[in-house]
Amino acid sequence: MSVPLRVQPRPKRKNKLIKPMLMLLLFFCLVAVTIWYWITYQAASTEHVAPYDGRQHVIVYQGEAFPQSFQLVDDQVLLPIDFIKEHIDPAIFWDEPTASVIVTTKDKVLRMPSEQVVAYLNKTPVDLKIPVKQQEGTVYIPYEPLEKLYPFQVQYVASTGTVIVEKAGYSVQQGKTADGEDQQEPQPLRTGPSRKQPIVGELAPGSEVDLLGEEAGWYRVQTADGLTGFLPKESVSLTQIRQSLAERPNEKQNAVWSPLGKPIVLAWEQVASKNPNTANIADMAAVNVVSPTWFELLDDKGTIGNKADPAYVKWAHSKGYKVWGLVTNGFNPDWTKAVLASYELREKMVAQILQYANMYDLDGINLDFENVYLDEKARLVQFVRELAPYLHEQGLALSMDVTIKSTSDRWSRFYDRAELAKVVDYMAVMTYDEHPAASQVSGSVASLPWVENGMLGVLEEVPREKLLLGVPFYTRLWKEVKQADGTVKVSSKALSMPTAQKWVEERKLTPQLDEATGQQFVSYKDPADGATYKMWLEDATSMEKRVALAKKYNLAGLAAWRRGYETDDIWTSIDKGFQQR
């Protein structure tokens, strides 16, 4: 019998090499990760790229690059009109019919026809080294003739091919890159706030830079030669505040008159066919300006009719009144469209207005343009811009009449009140007619709540120190007749204050306060014709309330339509109202 063999299991041997090998592998992994992290996140990029993505002729405005380039012709910088309009002068105007650039300031009008080396400054020819150019739909304007008109500094940097533009008074914190024994190498200027970003330039130690902002421990800076980029904060020390020393334009300071410490109280003088006999005009307490309706657009050729009277001006000045001749567009939208569309016709109107102002020794002009197409909104502003410098050059005031805001294109929306307010010295808001003659509903010409709301809307765009509150010296007598079908036919006629007062007295009516309008109100049913008559009165009481509104909002004053429609006590009431504290 055989005995089975027993196989003994081989004893396990401990591999003493496993642990060291794992440690070595882990070490190499850590080294690899460290190298990868350093390469990915810490190693500084040495890539150099062209500034501004390789664009040429870059305009840098106070640290920001403009998308359009400038042109350089015979060492003269030509700026695109879009840049000037956005950053220097929003009112610069391209007149398409004459292919001219028109610049207006407080006392100057500069017209530069394209491709011509002669410009016209207040109609005086001046020579240009380089003309206005048009290229691929863009208008380029030589800046040299504009230097004395705008408070801006325009510097061409040949080394970088950039133009640096700064406004007078522009302030910016400056810094200096590190220098000394520890810093001998140039400091790289990078495209972003990281060492991984490419380099757009290198700054020598101790270079001055403008600090434009801060991001992630880096400063965004602008160099003296117009490059922008990023530097680490630790490499820059703050130095001083730099302020642009661009020259401000030397405009003539012919101050426009204002009644120091007093409100303006203007009375419009309607002149239909002949001027009034001044001997019959009573003294008007508080009034310091009269505005006769003397000048009117007569056709689409820019002809302005003249009904001025030197004797009236002499009388007004003897009474201490300033005379602002009123110029109207005749309320003809087609004539207005024709003359506003043409620089030559606008210039013709300006010339006539100036001639009349000089001829009759006027103190100012009051513009009353009404019933204008909405499409002419910008051109109306341009006409006023072209007129204002000539008037201001002679120390004459320019005022303009506007309506309150509404949805009506030809009554309200064609007024760009905000832009017009930048140009004119005063603006009169005609807070009437709330219910015009053609209204199918009887109502006030200018109820107090309606007036205040309308005035507040205008004050959103017009500074209070320029605004005159327009007030009516008339009312409407409304007639309501019931028709066979049950409807009511409404008609009206305008009455002056004395005529309205007489009508009330003849019928022995007692006016009652209408709380809703803030005015005295009468209603009368005529037994003769069965019609009902209604009237919201304008009187001393309503005028006092309007003066109170002007004072409440610290307006420049008041303008009344019109002299001759008032009762004897009105001017005294207005005067007392303004004098009351």
CATH of the domain at 225: 2.30.30.40
Q: Which of 105, 188, 98 is nearest to 146 (CA)?
A: 105
Residues 155 and 196 occupy one common structural domain: no
Residue 438: closest CA among 405, 462, 408, 404: 408
Looking at the 3D structure of the chain, how many domains does it have?
A: 3
The CATH number given to whatever domain includes residue 119 is: 3.30.457.10
Domain of 358 in residue numbering reads as 264-474+541-579
DSSP code for 206:
T
What stretches of 369-446 adopt beta strand conformation (E)?
397-402, 426-430
pLDDT for 30: 73
Q: How much is the pLDDT for 245?
A: 80
Residues 299 and 155 in one domain: no
What pTM does this model have?
0.88
Q: Is 15 within the bounds of a domain?
A: no
Please report the pLDDT score of residue 4 as a whole number.
55
Q: Which tokens in the block code for residue 324?
A: 């602002």
Tokens 């209204």: give the residue: 439
161 and 173 both lie in a single domain = no
Give domain status of residue 519, yes or no. Answer: no
Instruction: Give me the CATH number covering residue 550.
Output: 3.20.20.80
What's the average pLDDT block by block, 10 residues per block, for the chain (581 residues)?
Answer: 54 60 72 56 84 96 96 96 97 96 94 96 94 96 94 95 95 91 84 96 95 96 96 95 82 76 96 96 96 98 97 98 98 98 96 97 98 98 97 95 98 98 98 96 98 98 98 98 96 98 98 98 96 98 97 98 97 95 77
The last residue of a domain, from among 165, 185, 216: 165
User: Is residue 357 domain-shared with residue 281, that is, in the same domain?
Assistant: yes
Spatial neighbors of 212 by CB under 8 A, at least 6 apart, are 63, 172, 219, 220, 221, 222, 228
In a domain, 184, yes or no: yes
Burial of 494 (0-12, 13-18, 19+ CB in 10 A): middle
For 191-223, b/e burial (b = at least 16 CB within 10 A) is bebbbebebbbebebebebbbbeeeeebbbbbb
Q: How far is CA 206 from CA 175, 179, 180, 209, in A?
A: 9, 5, 8, 9
CA distance 221 to 227: 8
pLDDT at 252: 58
Residues 181 and 149 in one domain: no
Give a yes or no: residue 567 inside a domain.
yes
- Indicate if 370 and 234 belong to the same structural domain: no
Q: Is residue 5 part of a domain?
A: no
Q: Looking at residue 163, what is its pLDDT?
A: 98
pLDDT of amino acid 5: 52
Same domain, 61 and 208: no
Q: Are residues 151 and 174 in the same domain?
A: no
User: Same domain, yes or no, for 227 and 95?
Assistant: no
In a domain, 33, yes or no: no
pLDDT at 24: 72
Determine the Cα–Cα distance for residues 15 and 333; give it in Å rounded to an integer. 106
Q: Is the dihedral of CA 90, 92, 97, 100 positive or negative?
A: negative
pLDDT at 248 (0 to 100): 72
For residues 154 and 174, membership in a common domain is answered with no
In a domain, 554, yes or no: yes
Q: Is residue 10 part of a domain?
A: no
Note whether 175 and 141 are same-domain residues. Answer: no
- Given 165, 190, 212, which residue is the final one in a domain? 165
CB neighbour burial string for 317-351, b if at least 16 within 10 angstroms, e if fewer = eeeebbbbbbbbbbebbebbbbbbbbbebbbbbbe
**CA 111 to chain centroid:** 21
297 and 413 in a single domain? The answer is yes
Question: Which of 104, 133, 165 lies at the terminal end of a domain, its last residue?
Answer: 165
pLDDT (0 to 100) of residue 37? 53
Structure tokens belonging to residue 563: 């002299």
C-beta of residue 158 within 8 angstroms of C-beta of residue 168:
no
